[in-house]
Amino acid sequence: MQGRLPGRPKNISGDRLSTMYALFAQQAALRPRETALAAPARPPLSFGDLMTLVDGVAGILSAMGVERHDRVAVALPTSAERLVVQAAVSCWCAAAPINPALRPGEIEALLSRLGIRLVIVPSGENSAALAAAHNLGIASLELTPLPGAPAGMARLGAADVLGAGAQAGRRGAGAGPEDIALLLPTSGTTGSPKIVPLSQANVCAGAANIVRAMNLGPGDRLLSLAQLHHIAGISLTLAALSAGGSVYCTPGFHAPDFFPWMEEADPTWLWVAPAMLHEIVGRAAAYQEVLARSRLRLIRVGSAPLAERLRAEAEELLHVPVLENYGMTEAAPQIASTPLPPGKRKRGSVGLPVGVEVEIEGEGGTFLPRGSAGEIVIRGPSVMGCYLGGEDAADGSFVRGWFRTGDQGYLDEEGYLFLTGRIKEIINRGGEKISPLEVDGVLLRHPEVEKAVTFPIPHPSLGEEIAAAVVLRPGRAVTEQELQEFVVRELSVSKVPRRVVILEEIPSDERGKVRRLRMAEQLGLTRPASVSGDRPSGDDAAPRTPVERDLAAMWKDVLRLKEGEVLTNARFLDLGGDSISAVLIISRVRGSFNVDLSPVTFFEAPTIAGLARIIEEKLGSGPVAGPQPEG
C-alpha cells in the first residue's frame, strides 16, 4: 500500500491526537468561534469554519475516488488557501507539497517519482505543475480564491469548499496515525533529493515539540513568513493551530511589507531565516513605534547558522529574545532549541533537545562522551521511519534505531548541542579535517564583515583548499589580505582561506539556504590551477636584489612555477601556495639565511618583495648579498 510507511514508525502512541484531523477537530470543539486564520485584507476564519473546510476538501477528494493511501500534490502559491487545502489533503491522504516555482521538467520528474494521483493547481494559470500533470496524464483540480471571503475559503474545482463541508457534515479522517501525511524532498546538497515520508504521528509529534519549545498557547499568533512547500512553514502553522493559537498568513517574506504586516497582524511570535532577520534589522529603526505597540514576545531563527552580532543587533532593535533552533525535515523538523528566558543561552549553541533524543556517535559506532565531536544521531516520535522506497534507500541513515543526521557536533556537560558542520561539508585539506563553521565564526567577528560562508575549492595537491565568501557591512571596506591576516591571528595557518571573495550578496537557494558544496561552482572557483587571479607583469616585477632572486628560486622550485610566473609582487596564495609549501620555504630560508620565519609571515607579507624586506631587516639594514657558497 503506497500510502503507508514501510515498517512500523517509531513511538506511535496510538492516541486520538496522533492524526492531523484529530488536532483540528479538538480545537474546533474547544473554540469554534475563535480566530484560526487571518490574512492581509481578508476577514478572519474561525476554528469551526476551518474544520468545515477540512471536511469539505475531504468530501471533494472522496467524490473523485481519492482514497487514504493515494498521493495528492499541492502546487499553489503560499497563501491561506494553500494552508487550508494542503492541511485538509494531509488529513485525508498523503499530501505532496510542491514548489510552484520549479520548472516543468523538475515538477514532472517529482510527480512521476512520487506516484501522484491528483495535482491541485491555481485556477486560470498555465502553470508548470498543470503542464507537468497533463504530460503525465495525471488528473488536476483547480483552486479559485473567493474575494472578500474569510481567509482560506476557496472554490476547489466546481465546488465551494465551505459549502461542500457544510453539506457533508463531519466526515472523520481518512488517514490513521501510521499513514503518510506529507511527502517532502530533503534539502540535500548533492544529487537528487531523497523523499521524506512523514506519518500522521510524526507530524503531530513535531508540532507538539514546537509548541513545547515556544511555550505556545491560545493567545499566541504566528506571523507566517515561510513558504508552505517547506517543512518549516508547514510545521510552524500546524503548531500554532494545534495550540489553539492563530496564524496570520502572508505570501512569504517581503521586507517592505514586514512592518505593515506586523502592525496589522499583531503577532506574538514569528520564524525567520538569518537572511530575513538581516533585512528586518536594517529597517527596524524606522518602526520603533510599531514595535512598542507590538505583542511580539520571541523570534525563532532557523535554516542557517545565526551570527552572534546579528542576534545581538536584532534583540536590541526588536526588543525580544531571538532563539536559534536546529531541525531537519526528517524530524518534522524540531530537534533542539534555545531555551526561552530565563533559561540559559550559550553562545554558539543551538540549545537543548526538545522531544527528540540526541547522541553523538563516533567512527566506531559508539556514543561519545560529553564534549567530544562526532555525528549527531537522533530518535523520537517525530523522526521518520525511513526514506521513501524503504530502508535500502536510506544509505545507512538508520543504525540500531537511530537516525544519522549527517551533521557533526557535540553535547556539553549540560546537554546543550553545538554544531560544527555538515560531515559532507567538512573540508578535507590534505588529510586535515577543517570545519567551515569555525572559519565562518572568525570572519564574522571582523568588524567590517556582515556575512561569511567558508567552502572548499579544488587544489592540485591537497585535494581541497579553503575559500570564503563575505559580504561587508554597509559603507565598509576591507581587502582580502586584511581578512586573511585577521583569521591567522585566531586560527592556525592551515585554516586560513586561500581565497576570500567579497560579494554584494552570498548565493543561496530558493529556501534561503547557502549550499557550501556548490559555492565554488557558483563563484567560478572550480578549476584546480596553481596560479589564479591577475598577475602583475613588467620588469619592475622581476627579482632585483640577491635575497629576492634566492627567494624566487625557492618559490619556483617549491610551487613548481614557470619562469614568467615568479614575480616579486605576486601573492603567495595566488601562485598556489599553502601552509605545506610555506613550511618548505621556511625551512629553506632557515638553511640559506639562518633566519626563522613564521607561517603567519606569508599572510602578513605575502610576496617575494615583502618576505625579502623582512629577511633583510633580520640580517641587518639594507639589501644583502644573499647566502654565501660553502667553503
| 194 backbone dihedrals φ, ψ, rounded to 5° | -75, 160
Q: What is the pLDDT of residue 246?
A: 98
Q: Are 340 and 215 in contact (CB under 8 A)?
A: yes
pTM of the entire predicted model: 0.76
263: Cα within 13 Å, side-chain hemisphere: 9
Distance of CA 344 to the CA centre of its chain: 24
> Which residues, other chains included, contact 211 with Cβ-Cβ below 8 Å and sequence gap of 6+?
239, 242, 243
Torsion angle defined by CA atoms of residues 329, 334, 336 and 339, in that order, rounded to the nearest 10 degrees? 150
Q: Which residue has the cell 476554528?
A: 47
CATH topology assigned to domain 539-619: 1.10.1200
State pLDDT tens for residues 492-519: 777 889 899 999 999 887 666 788 888 9
> Which residues, other chains included, contact 335 with Cβ-Cβ below 8 Å and sequence gap of 6+?
325, 326, 327, 328, 353, 354, 356, 358, 378, 405, 417
Q: Which residues make beta-bridge pairs with 96?
A: 73
State pLDDT tens for residues 259-306: 999 999 999 999 998 878 988 999 999 999 999 999 999 999 988 778
**Percent of the chain residues past pLDDT 90, beyond the cut:** 57
- Alpha-carbon distance of 54 to 199, in angstroms, equals 18
Looking at the structure, give the CATH architecture of the domain made up of residues 1-192+213-252: 3-Layer(aba) Sandwich (3.40)
CATH number, domain 426-522, options 3.30.300.30, 3.50.50.60, 3.10.105.10, 3.40.50.1370? 3.30.300.30
Domain ranges of the chain: 1-192+213-252, 426-522, 539-619
- Alpha-carbon distance of 196 to 383, in angstroms, equals 10
- Consecutive sets of 10 residues in the chain, 631 residues long: mean pLDDT of each? 40 59 96 97 96 93 91 97 97 95 87 96 90 95 93 87 63 81 74 84 97 97 95 96 98 94 97 89 95 97 84 95 95 96 93 97 92 96 89 68 93 96 81 82 93 88 85 93 88 85 86 82 74 41 86 84 76 73 82 83 81 86 43 34
Determine the angle formed by the axes of helices 20-30 and 80-92, rounding to 10 degrees: 120
